[in-house]
Amino acid sequence: MPDQVLKTRLIAALLMSFSLSLLMSCWVTFINLGLTEAFVAQWMKAFQLAWPAAALIAFFLGPAVQKATAFLVQRLS
């Protein structure tokens, strides 16, 4: 795999997983705790646990998701 393609996949996976992990951990923490004094601390703890897993999942599933997306777009056209 060329370096540029790998670098692009890695950066895309990191950015997407960061965004999704940050927002989803905020949402789930809010649902579970509400706006308590512990909210931010618990949110950051959840985010720290979620981001590495999300980054690995995004990196390894990214190509399959892109293929599935292209297939679905072609079928829906």
Task: Provide the pLDDT for residue 1.
Answer: 65
Residues in CB range of 24: below 8 A, 6 or more apart? 50
Per-residue pLDDT averaged across 10-20, rounded? 96
pLDDT band of 36, cuts 50, 70, 90: very high
The three-state secondary structure class of 35 is coil
Task: Write down the pTM of the prediction.
Answer: 0.82
Each residue's pLDDT tens digit, 38-70: 999 999 999 999 999 999 999 999 999 999 999
Query: CA end-to-end span of the chain, whole Å?
Result: 31
